[in-house]
Every structure is written in structure tokens, then in C-alpha cells.
Amino acid sequence: MKRSGFRMMWMVVMFDLPTLDEADRKKANRFRNFLKDNGFEMSQLSVYFKFIGVRENSKRIVRLIENNTPTGKVSILFFTDKQFSEIICIHNNQIERMPEKPQQLLLF
């Protein structure tokens, strides 16, 4: 069964964490690694994204992020799959499309 591109969701995490001293830099790097370890992909140094399926899946992930956020500002945005597919990235003067959602495995 094909899911609607308006029901399937992506989560984008943007953050601005202090990096004034070595301890702050370690905390910021630990937070980046936490996001990667939880399936997020890096778009920019402080912008990460993840396909989460339906919106209901976001509550657990938001709590995880909240419990692992060091001092600083973290913003979490949600996009439908359709909206996310319309994002245009320009990298080194070349247009890049955002990745497509992962294929769902069928279990028999």
C-alpha cells in the first residue's frame, strides 16, 4: 500500500550550540554524534534531517533530543514528504535534490 506524501513526515533539527571553549565544543560534537547515531543525516554542520514516517513517531524522538541537548538553542521542524521533496539545495553552484524517503520493507 502506497502512503500519501502528505502523511509521511521528515524531521529537521537545527541547532546553535556554544563552542567558545573545549568543553563546549565536546558537548556540541557529542550532540552531533547523538543525532547521527539516531539515524539523522547531516545537511549542514548544524542542520540534520531524518525520515520519521508518521507524525506520531516524532514524540519519542523529540523527548530523546530534549534529554540530550546541551546548553544552546535547538529547533525542530516537520515537513511532509511532499514538502521535503521540493527542497532545493545548491552546493558548489550545482542543484542537488534532497534524498528520497527510505523504501519500506515488506515482511511476509
Q: What is the pLDDT of residues 20-62, one digit of tens each?
A: 999 999 999 999 999 999 999 999 999 999 999 998 989 999 9
> pLDDT category, 2, cuts 50, 70, 90?
low
Report in angstroms the alpha-carbon separations of 7 from 19, 78, 87, 93: 37, 11, 17, 32
- Domain assignment present for residue 72? The answer is yes
pTM of the complete model: 0.82
- Domain assignment present for residue 19? The answer is yes
Number of separate domains in the chain:
1
The CATH number given to whatever domain includes residue 32 is 3.30.70.240
Range of 51's domain? 9-97
pLDDT at 80: 94
- Domain assignment present for residue 108? The answer is no
* AA letter at 28: A
CB of 72 closer than 8 Å to CB of 18: yes
- Domain assignment present for residue 44? The answer is yes
- Domain assignment present for residue 40? The answer is yes
